[in-house]
Structures are given as C-alpha cells and as structure tokens.
Structure 1
C-alpha cells in the first residue's frame, strides 16, 4: 500500500507540474493583448499611463519565466493568486463556481451511468435482435453528437416550443440566491443535466454491451445454463457483476469528458458554473484564474481515475493493481 500511494502521489505531482507548465506556455503564446482583454470594450479610452498601471498591477510586463516562477512560489504557499475578472482570490472563485458545476455534473454522471448500464445490459443480453440494433444505433448516434448541438435542440423543444423548462440560468432571473427554492434549482438544473447525460450515456452503453456479450459467451454461463438456471438468473447472478466492473471504471474515467462537456452546456444554458468561468477567463485573459482552474480540473480527473481503479478492484476480485505491487 505504501508503494501504491507513493506512486500515485508522484504521478499526481508530475501531472500538476505538466499541466501548469503547459497551460502557462499556451497562455503566454496567445496573440491576444492581455491589457486589452482585461479592459474589454473600454480599451480605446484607456490612456498609456493607465495601461502601464494595469500592467504593473498584474505583472503583465514581466518576462514569462519570472511570472511563472512568482506564481509557482505563491502556489507552494497555498495561494493561487487573485482573479483579474472577478477581483477575488482564485480559490474563492473556484469554490463558488465549482459547487454549481458539481451539482450539474453529478446529476448527469448518475443519469448516464444508470441509464447506460441498463441499456447496455439489455442490448448485450439480446445480441442481434431489434432491441440490440436499436440501442446500438442510438448509442453510435449520440456518440457523434456535439454537446452544444444537443443542448440547443433540447432548449428549442422543451424550453421554447413546449415551455416545460426554463430557458437559462440556475434560478429565476432576478431572484437572490437565498430566495431560490430547491425545486426551482432542480427545475433549472434538469435540462443541462439531461444534455450532458444524453451525450455521456453512449460510451457506457457500448462498453457494457460488449462486456455482457463476452460474459454470455463464457464457460461459466454455459455451465449455469446446463444446470437449468433461468435466463433471468443468468443475468442477475452471472452477468451483472462481471459487466459492472468495466462500466464503473469507464464511468469514473469519463469525468474529464464530463467536465469538458459541462463547459459547452453551461454556455448554451447560461448556467453560472465553472465552465462559464473558464470561458470568461479565457476571453479576458485572466491567467491566474485559468491556471487555478486547470490545476483543479487535473486534480478532479486524477481523483476520478483513482476512484475508478479502486472501485474496479473491489467489484471484480480478479483485478489486482499489479503495477503498484498491490495484491
């Protein structure tokens, strides 16, 4: 266990360093003038003296290596810096926005996992039938559908045409956060979460279907059938657990794609989460906030993959973390 956790710690440190260096290098190579992006539409009215003050305030005139070194020194002290757009500590901005995105991603993650596993088992247990072909066709179609296109389609159908769901935001427009009820929050959360889950359900369906077909063709299922076990008993006692292991691992590994999809979904529905903060920070060249969000995303995805490995090894006793020396 010591070898396992120490190896994971080294991987995490290497990942965070690589993400930080890569993100800062891309931002430094951006052709966008950071001062004009910071000022926005009022850039024409800014005098040269004011530009110098802005550059001095945020250290925009310093060499890139010096800026990165200064930022890294603050990070080692637990300080991610101050957001230029929100004029608040980066940790506070990420913490506030992440809670909204977490509710959205958690709802989509659960829906896509449960629905994808159920449909995958249904299709895999009846290979070659019209049910299998229909579910597979639907999964392949969803796998190639962009998140923003699905979001716009659902928005037009359920919000504009049927008027069943709100058009935007995480609550009624003009209402204070303390005045929004739980029912109203769930009502505004429904369509964005459905958008993410519809797109994310496809890989779970396809992988679960493949795993079920393999298990159904195994010797243990053949032996169980020879003993007179019913088809339902074969599915419940022989197939579900063996198919659940790869499905769970895939579900945890998809957190990165889920995070990326939430950025587009939040833009379509104007949902005030971390994805919307990423877009705002990118357009305004808010380097401290972008760097902090990149590290938070890397940590989030790494934790998801780690949980996926641990859950996979618990669900399927045959799986052992051999590379880390855990038996």
Structure 2
C-alpha cells in the first residue's frame, strides 16, 4: 500500500513538473507572439511619454532584452522563489495572486458544492424516473443550459435580480466606498450569491446528465431487475443499490471539473466585475503583464492538477480493486 502510493505520487509529481515547464514555455511564446505592447499598456494612451521614457520603462522591466534571455531570467527567478512584480498592480506577483485567489476560492467553492450536490440529486431523480414528466423537465433544463453561454446567463441574472427586482448588488464583491475591513458578512454574501449561482447553474447540467446515464445503466442491470421482481420499491432500490454505485463516478467527475470551474470563473468575474483571479487573468493578458500571467498560469495548472490527483486517490480509497489490480 505505501509502496504503491509512493510510486503513484512520484509519477504524478514528475508529470506535474513536465506540464509546468511545457505550460511556461507555451504561455511565454504566446505572449511574445501577441500584438500587445507591454510598454504601451503600461503607460496607457498618454502622448506625453517620450521615446526615451519608453526606453527607460522597457529597461526597468527587462523588456529590452531578447526573448530567450528574458525567459531564462524569469525561469531562474521563479525557481529561487521570486515570482517577480506585477506591471499592473505594482506589487509582488505572489501577493497579488494570493489576494485574488482568496476572493475566487469562495466563489468557486460555493459553486462547486452547489453544482455537485444539486446535479447529483437531479441526475438520480431523472434516471430513476426515466420517461416520466419529471425526467423530461430535468433533461430539458440541462439541454438548454448546456448551450447557454456563461456570460449571457450572468447578464440575464443581473437584469432580472439586480436591476428589475433589486434583490442583489449589480457587481463587485463589496459595497462601493466601503473599506474591506468594515464590510459585514451579510454584505459579502449578498455580493457573491449571483456570481456563484451563475457559475453553478451551468455546471449542474453536466453532472446531472452524467449521473442520469450511470443510473440508467445500473437500473438495467441483472441484480436491479431481480430486485424489482422481488417487489422492491424504486426508492428502496435507489437507496440500497444505485447510490453506492453512482457516487464513485460522480465524485470523480466533480473533481475532474476543476478546469471547467476555473474557466467559468473567468467569464463570471468579468460580467460581475468580481475582483478575483479570473478578472486578474484577463487584465494580465490584455495589458501584457507577463510576470502575473505566468504566475496565474502556474497556479491554475496546480489547482486543476490537484483535482485530478484527489479524484484518483478517491478511486483508490472507495474501490479496493483499483489498488490491487490496476496501477495508477
């Protein structure tokens, strides 16, 4: 068991290192090919900045050096623990990421829990009631939301719940003009409800449809048909047989959805002007803030990869056959 886990983690760590190096190279290359001029983005549209001043700014940020020299300098720096300074926020990259990630983790965490629980329950109900009205309603809901853009749904929610009904704030994570330390818990919850709801509603459909398909497979198995022949009720069959067999693939799918969760967060934070990691990613890309963008790329990869590792570990814990008969 310990030897197997050791081999498992060694392979995962080596794969993570390989992915990180490849990601850094690809991200840097794409930024180099981008038409965005970091110096112009840094000074803005001001015409008062002379060519000499632009050259000094480029020298200060190391933008006057060849691409390979800049990449190698950044790579050595990040290995030593120095992630550089953000050109947008004028602060260390790790400090900016830590602050933004703390805001986003609440949004992603709430959405992840809601989408997982609600999607799983709806999938169980839809699969157990195949062909009935409730099944058609749930499937219709899923099909519609699967083709609905996240940003469009966010705008719709703002129009209905913020502008028309006035139930929730339009944007931001705290009230305007209020110091963050003075914001109450109720106010923070009011600001996070709509973004979290937008992010979770879209994700519910994939979990629901996946769970439904697994339930249908199980309901057509021989031991379920035998249980029905003995006169067991559908509710008892679901509780005693279906839940146990569906939970494992559902848990795996939920942890594997970290990439979709992070991608959806970028759109949601843009729509709601939510000051999280997703909004910082867009700003860094549009303004050529290479140190910040590279740092966010690394953090996002580690975040998504962690979800995959947790899913694999849960497989090993829940299903002993994986530990004994299959090498991860």
Into which bin does the TM-score normalised by the smaller protein fall?
Answer: over 0.9
Q: Is the 8 A contact 1:151 1:192 kept in 2?
A: yes
C-alpha deviation, 1:38, in angstroms: 1.3
Q: Matched residue of 1:127: which SS?
A: coil
Structure 1 residues not aligned, in runs of 5+: none
Taking a change above 3 Å as real, the CA distance of residues 125 and 100 of structure 1, as seen in their structure-2 partners, is same
C-alpha deviation, 1:282, in angstroms: 1.4
1:102 aligns with 2:105: yes
CA distance in 1, matches of 2:195, 2:325: 40
Structure 2 equivalent of residue 187 of structure 1:
190
Q: Is the 8 A contact 1:221 1:234 kept in 2?
A: yes
Report the TM-score when normalising by structure 2.
0.96
C-alpha deviation, 1:128, in angstroms: 1.4
Q: Is the 8 A contact 1:40 1:284 kept in 2?
A: no
Over residues 6-26 of structure 1, what are the superposed CA-to-partner deviations in whole Å (9 max), with x where a residue is unaligned?
100111001111111110000
Q: Matched residue of 1:164: which SS?
A: coil
1:151 aligns with 2:154: yes
Structure 2 equivalent of residue 39 of structure 1:
43
1:23 aligns with 2:27: yes
Taking a change above 3 Å as real, the CA distance of residues 260 and 20 of structure 1, as seen in their structure-2 partners, is same
Structure 1 equivalent of residue 133 of structure 2:
130
1:289 aligns with 2:313: no
Structure 1 equivalent of residue 116 of structure 2:
113
Over residues 138-186 of structure 1, what are the superposed CA-to-partner deviations in whole Å (9 max), with x where a residue is unaligned?
1111111111000000010000000001011111111111101111101
Q: Matched residue of 1:41: which SS?
A: coil
C-alpha deviation, 1:231, in angstroms: 1.6
CA distance in 2, matches of 1:15, 1:322: 28
Structure 2 equivalent of residue 166 of structure 1:
169
Structure 2 equivalent of residue 55 of structure 1:
58
1:83 aligns with 2:105: no
CA distance in 2, matches of 1:53, 1:155: 44
C-alpha deviation, 1:316, in angstroms: 3.8
Aligned length: 324
Counterparts of 1:195-214 in structure 2, within 5 Å, are 195-214=198-217
CA distance in 2, matches of 1:226, 1:91: 61
1:2 aligns with 2:25: no
C-alpha deviation, 1:314, in angstroms: 2.8
1:66 aligns with 2:74: no
User: Which of 263, 269, 283 is the matching residue for 1:260?
Assistant: 263
C-alpha deviation, 1:317, in angstroms: 4.1
C-alpha deviation, 1:225, in angstroms: 2.7
Q: Is the 8 A contact 2:199 2:265 kept in 1?
A: yes
CA distance in 2, matches of 1:313, 1:196: 30
C-alpha deviation, 1:32, in angstroms: 1.5
C-alpha deviation, 1:130, in angstroms: 1.8
Calculate the aligned-residue CA RMSD, in Å: 1.3
Q: Is the 8 A contact 1:313 1:321 kept in 2?
A: no
